[in-house]
Amino acid sequence: MSAVPSVTGAALAAGRKPRRWGAWYVALHRFRVMKSYTGTVVVAGLGSPLIYLYALGVGLATIVDANLGTEAVDGVSYLVFVAPALLASAAITVASEEFTYPVMLGYKWNPTFAGMSASPLRPTQIVDGVILSVAIRMLVNLVLFFALILVFGAAPSPMAALMIGAGLLGGIAFGAVLMGYTSTLEEDTGQLAMVMRFVVLPMTLFSGTFFPLSVFPIWLQWIGWISPLWHSTELARVFSYGYAEPIWLTIVHVAYLVALTLIGWAWARRIAVRRLGR
């Protein structure tokens, strides 16, 4: 067998693994970076649910339940009502941390994405890898959160564990769109801070998180309908305590979140291809 000295052949062979696993390599890189703030992830992952569950689910719940009875909202205690919403918004918080500044960092401030795109990785794989790594980090946070909810005895349904999936879907749906948006920014002149203040915060307040959306007049309820958090919260409630809603609405929640995920993801990939291939 004659060894044919062709660099072309070597290239064709060496391209196969990165073509298949590139996104995973990016995720491995991201994990290594996240490792440097593991402490923050764990402390925030356990600490903030603890604080929220205690403050709202126990503190505020005492007043709510005292005034309206223990079946005040949706026929369950306030703690049970609010717990799935807190879990869903924890996913949104992770998304708003990981899909803003780290993305800006990768494109511009410490352009690691440029470094990646000089390797066999493709721009689309960079996007996939970032989303994958955040999804896994988010999953860890949500599992911790769910464990605490169980400790508080705030998830009566046997299907309650599925609310982790609902939270994850909501977080990634919002995150993918957010990543698309962040990717379009050539310069951060405060846009990301505005997103936090005028998108994330109002979304948390107006998505049926702390009180049902039905409390609002109908002309304000649209905020909830377009909010990924409202959809993931409602979905989480269905799983957590069997919140009664028509089945078509449950399907709408899933469909809406899947659609947002796909749109945001495709948008982020498109920008990556354009921006890194200039």
Partner 1 sequence: MPRAGCRGPPRRPAAGPRRIRGIRRRCRLPRLSWITVPAPVIVARDLLKRYGDFAAVDGISFEVAPGESFGLLGPNGAGKSTTMRMVGAVSTRTAGELSILGLDPDVYGPEIRSQLGVVPQADNLDTELRVRENLLVYGRYFGLPGRLVAKRADELLAFAQLEEKGKAKVDSLSGGMKRRLTIARALINDPRVLLLDEPTTGLDPQARHILWDRLFRLKEQGTTLLLTTHYMDEAEQLCDRLVVVDKGTIMAEGTPAELIRRYSSREVLEVRFGSDRNAEVAEQLALRHGQGPVGERMEVLPDRILVYSDNGEAELVRITDAGFHPITSLVRRSSLEDVFLRLTGRSLIE
Alpha-carbon distance 245 to 158, whole Å?
Answer: 18
Report 36-65 residues binding partner 1 (CB under 8 A).
36
Q: Closest distance between partner 1 and the C-beta of residue 275, in Å?
A: 11
CB neighbours of 150 closer than 8 A, spacing ≥ 6? 160
| Nearest CA among 28, 262, 260 for reference residue 136 | 28
Interface residue with partner 1 among 52, 56, 81, 121 (CB under 8 A) is: 121
| Under rule CB under 8 A, residue 19 binds partner 1 | yes
Cα 156 to Cα 162: distance, rounded to the nearest angstrom = 12
> Is residue 269 a contact residue for partner 1 (CB under 8 A)?
no
Binds partner 1 by CB under 8 A, chosen from 99, 122, 160, 229: 122
Residue 101 binds to partner 1 (criterion: CB under 8 A):
no
Q: What is the DSSP string of 70-115?
A: TTTBTTB-HHHHHHHHHHHHHHHHHHHHHTSHHHHIIIIIS-HHHH
CA dihedral 94, 96, 99, 103 (to 10 degrees): -120
> Measured from the CB atom, is 137 or 237 closer to partner 1?
137
70 vs 49: CA distance, rounded Å: 22
215 is a site residue for partner 1 (CB under 8 A): no
Q: With binding defined as CB under 8 A, does residue 110 bind partner 1?
A: yes
Smallest separation (angstroms) from partner 1 to the CB of 7: 5
Of 36 and 67, nearer to partner 1 (C-beta) is: 36
User: Looking at 118-126, 165-173, 197-205, 260-268, which segment touches partner 1 (CB under 8 A)?
Assistant: 118-126
Among all chains, which residue has been given the structure tokens 């989480």? 236
Stretch touching partner 1 by CB under 8 A, among 1-9, 62-70, 87-95, 131-139:
1-9
The answer to whether residues 180 and 271 touch, using CB atoms and an 8 Å cutoff, is: yes
Rule CB under 8 A: choose which of 72, 114, 185, 199 binds partner 1.
114
* Residue 90 and residue 48 in contact, taking contact as beta carbons nearer than 8 Å: yes
120 touches partner 1 (CB under 8 A): yes
For partner 1, the binding residues (CB under 8 A) are 1, 3-19, 21-22, 25-26, 28-29, 32-33, 36, 110-112, 114-122, 276-278
